[in-house]
Amino acid sequence: MKLFLTGASGLVGAAVATAAARRGHEVIGVSGRFTGPLEGLARRLTLDLADEAALTAAALESFPDAIINCAAMSEPAQCDAQPALSEKLNVTLPATLARLAHHLSARFIHISSEQVFDGAQTAPYRVDSPTNPITRYGRQKLASEHAVLTAAPEFSAIVRAPLLMGDSPGAQRSLHERLLADWASGRTVRLYADEFRQPCTGENLAETLVELAERPALRGVFHWAGRELFSRVQLGEAIRAHFKLTDAQAPIVVTHRTDNPAIAASRQACLALDLAPLLGTLKTQPQTLSQQLASLKVPPLVRAWYHSL
Ligand X SMILES: NC(=O)c1ccc[n+]([C@@H]2O[C@H](COP(=O)([O-])OP(=O)(O)OC[C@H]3O[C@@H](n4cnc5c(N)ncnc54)[C@H](OP(=O)(O)O)[C@@H]3O)[C@@H](O)[C@H]2O)c1
> Is the CB of 74 or the CB of 255 nearer to ligand X?
74
Told to check if 89 binds ligand X by CB under 6 A, we report yes
Told to check if 11 binds ligand X by CB under 6 A, we report yes
Told to check if 7 binds ligand X by CB under 6 A, we report yes
Q: Which residues, 6 or more positions from 240, have their beta carbon under 8 angstroms from its beta carbon?
A: 179, 247, 250, 252
Q: Give 301's DSSP letter.
A: G
User: By CB under 6 A, which span of 157-165, 182-190, 251-259, 263-271 interacts with ligand X?
Assistant: 157-165
> Is the CB of 61 or the CB of 105 nearer to ligand X?
61
Told to check if 267 binds ligand X by CB under 6 A, we report no
Q: Site residues for ligand X, window 109-128 (CB under 6 A)?
A: 111, 113
* Cα 166 to Cα 11, 68, 279, distances in angstroms: 7, 19, 21
The answer, yes or no, to whether the previous bond of 277 is cis (omega within 30 of 0) is yes
User: By CB under 6 A, which span of 28-36, 95-103, 146-154, 222-230 interacts with ligand X?
Assistant: 28-36
Dihedral-angle region of residue 166 (phi above 0 means left; psi in -120 to 50 means alpha; beta otherwise): left
> Is the CB of 249 or the CB of 274 nearer to ligand X?
274
**Residue of the chain from 21, 45, 72, 252 that contacts ligand X (CB under 6 A):** 72
**Residue of the chain from 3, 4, 5, 10 that contacts ligand X (CB under 6 A):** 10
For residues 67 and 13, what is the distance between their CA atoms, to the nearest angstrom?
A: 12
Question: 134: which strand partners?
Answer: none
Instruction: Give φ, ψ of 241 to 5 degrees.
Output: -65, -40
Nearest residue relative to ligand X (C-beta):
10
> Is the CB of 71 or the CB of 152 nearer to ligand X?
71
Pairing of the two strands 196-197 and 270-271: parallel
For residues 13 and 31, what is the distance between their CA atoms, to the nearest angstrom?
A: 9
Told to check if 13 binds ligand X by CB under 6 A, we report yes
- Site residues for ligand X per CB under 6 A: 7, 9-13, 31-34, 47-50, 70-72, 74, 89, 111, 113, 161, 163-164, 168, 173
